[in-house]
Chains A and B, each alone.
Chain A
Amino acid sequence: MSITLKNVSYRYSTGTAEEIEALKNITLTIEDGQFIGLAGHTGSGKSTLIQHLNGLLRPTEGQVLHNGQDIFEKGFDLRTYRTKVGLVFQYPEYQLFETTVLEDACFGPLNQGKTKEEAREMAKRALRSVSVPEELFERSPFELSGGQQRRVAIAGVLAMEPEVLVLDEPTAGLDPCGRTEILDLVKSLQEERKITVVLVSHSMEDIADYVQRLVVMKEGEVFLDDEPKKVFSHFEELEEIGLSAPQVTYLMQDLSAQGFGVPTDCITVEEAKEAILKAVGKC
């Protein structure tokens, strides 16, 4: 299922003194099965953009199309649609409310109209997939550590088995192990279940490691939209808007400037390692 934003503009607090145009005429198509990264300086409109993808915000101007159909048309079942486009908010652990971890993860599937049994099965699968240990299932979510709460909250969205998964900085504040674990999981979901993933992130390393397409936002507009390699080759422009390329890209630039014959377009550590070994082996 493809989602298309067509000339979408969004203004916060319309008609008041502090009206803000958070999105300006955005046109963007999210194709089936892609792993898309969304980057941009703080306040550039990333969170605003992704809330349009599942119809939580209604564009001030423009349309959001799902398989060509306007999702705000009369008769469109927005509630069912929302469960197909799973949205994990920034700091999702603040939305936990149930008495036990398992019940909290059941909330989404139950809203989808699943039976209690089915919902429990889906919830358990989701919790296991984000490696929440079984013995925590009956604990209160408020007794867990921050990182465990984050996993439970993500599981709450995964439990609905959405076709599109949108994550707003899912790894902010997690330890390095937790970061790779969650991103690896998302990657495997995308590959195995063929779901579409949109990942908002401030970490260029994470983006370089995982995404196939990178959209960069600047002050409410799409600034760059291409493969990560190509986007990062514009690192000077990225720096101007407060972003950067992954650190290895700079390392390779420096090495190349020092006269080592290495390519400068490496964006992941793996790639760089290969390239350096090749260059050193040749020397």
Chain B
Amino acid sequence: MLKDITLGQFYPAESKIHALDPRVKLVGTLLYVVSLFLFHNLAGFLLATAFLFFLIHMSKVPVSYILRGLKAIFILMVITAIFNVLFTPGTTIVHVWKIRITWEGVRAAVFMFIRLTYLVMGTSLMTLTTTPTRLTDGMESLMAPLEKIHAPVHEVAMMMSIALRFIPLLVDETDKIMKAQMARGADFESGNFWRRAKSMVPILVPLFVSAFRRAGDLALAMEARCYQGGEGRTKMKPLVYGRNDGKAYAVLWIYFAAMILVRIFLNLPHVPLLGH
């Protein structure tokens, strides 16, 4: 019942994208997101689309999995679109009472919609093809220069990986506790808001107790193995760039350069999606 809540869900498959160094994927996602805000015409849009679907195809992750991420922000997207349509000044298409729909508004809404969609799809692709552990490893490595200014990079990365590790455990635990209380006749579904909130107590108390116990155990186990922070610590699986990672960086930068060039030089007719 609680299994639907999986954060940073990883889709196991064997593909070139899965095998890439997490740093490439992090940088790539960042570049892709920036590139989404570069295009303002058909050519740029087509290029961004082609690039995204090419990557999805290479990753062997079913498109339905990638689209799943959209559900969470659908409302946000719709609201953004409505605001764009209603409050962008420009050439009026429809004018009813105080509501004025402009040509520029519709255009901005469509582009914003596409951008958000691709943004979510792009980042989902990264989280679906990279295990949380590798992701935090990659972040730690990319942020390492910040240690010079005494930012606690290693500690933050360690906290993130522990948190990620604990999410499925806590979900399992909640499931177990819920079942145990249901076996004692607990009722989580009926009653008004107040009663329902109260019926959460038998779940939350054991859950917190167990979270604290686990945290304590983990801290002890880490100390027993001489963990003492980031200073001088080496990795069991250090991140090493391979040949494919180099190629991937090349492809990325070529794509990014192409997006910039398209923006500067190619000015195809505006907004193909509606036709003039």
Contacts and interface: CB of A to CB of B under 8 A. Distances in A.
Interface SS of B by simple majority: helix
Task: Pick the most buried of B3, B12, B183: most chain A CB atoms within 10 A of its CB.
Answer: B183
B185 A95 contact: no
A56 B182 contact: yes
A30 B179 CA distance: 22
A160 B180 contact: no
Contacts of A83: 184-185
B185 A160 contact: yes
A97 B209 CA distance: 9
Interface in B168-193: 173, 176-177, 179-187
B205 interface: yes
Nearest to B3: A13
A95 B206 contact: yes
Interface in A52-104: 54, 56, 79-80, 82-83, 86-87, 89, 92, 94-97
B179 A51 contact: yes
A166 B274 CA distance: 65
Interface residues of B, number: 21
B6 to A, nearest CB: 9
Task: Pick the most buried of A56, A95, A107: most chain B CB atoms within 10 A of its CB.
Answer: A95
A97 B184 contact: no
A42 interface: no
B184 A111 contact: yes
Interface in B141-200: 173, 176-177, 179-187
B216 interface: no
A115 interface: no
Task: Pick the most buried of B173, B179, B180: most chain A CB atoms within 10 A of its CB.
Answer: B180
Contacts of B206: 94-97
B201 interface: yes
Contacts of A80: 185
A17 B10 CA distance: 10
A89 B187 contact: no
Contacts of A157: 183-184
A111 B3 contact: no
Interface string B197-238: 000011001100110000000000000000000000000000
A160 B182 CA distance: 13
Contacts of B209: 94, 97, 142
A247 interface: no
A220 interface: no
Nearest to A162: B183
Given A94-B206, A97-B206, A142-B209, A79 B183 contact: no
Contacts of B180: 87, 89, 92, 94-95
Nearest to A112: B185
A212 to B, nearest CB: 24
B11 interface: yes
Nearest to A17: B12
Interface residues of A, number: 25
Nearest to B190: A79
B184 A156 contact: yes
Nearest to B189: A79
Nearest to A54: B183
A223 B224 CA distance: 43
A115 to B, nearest CB: 15
Contacts of A86: 183
A82 B183 contact: yes
B186 A97 contact: no
A108 interface: yes
Contacts of A51: 179
Nearest to A97: B205
B52 to A, nearest CB: 23
B92 to A, nearest CB: 49
Contacts of B176: 89, 94
B12 A56 contact: no
Contact of A82 (B185, B201, B205): B185
A156 B206 CA distance: 15
Nearest to B6: A16
Contact of A79 (B177, B179, B187, B210): B187
Nearest to A78: B182
A95 B177 CA distance: 6
Nearest to B184: A108
Contacts of B183: 54, 56, 82, 86-87, 89, 157
Given A13-B3, A97-B202, A97-B206, A56 B184 contact: no
B185 A79 contact: yes
5 contacts: A54-B183, A89-B179, A94-B180, A94-B206, A107-B181
Given A13-B3, A82-B183, A111-B187, 19 more contacts: A17-B11, A54-B183, A56-B179, A79-B187, A82-B182, A83-B184, A83-B185, A89-B176, A89-B179, A94-B173, A94-B176, A94-B177, A95-B206, A97-B205, A97-B206, A107-B184, A107-B186, A111-B184, A111-B185
Interface of A: 13, 17, 51, 54, 56, 79-80, 82-83, 86-87, 89, 92, 94-97, 107-108, 111-112, 142, 156-157, 160
4 nearest A-B residue pairs (beta carbon): A111-B185, A97-B205, A95-B180, A108-B184
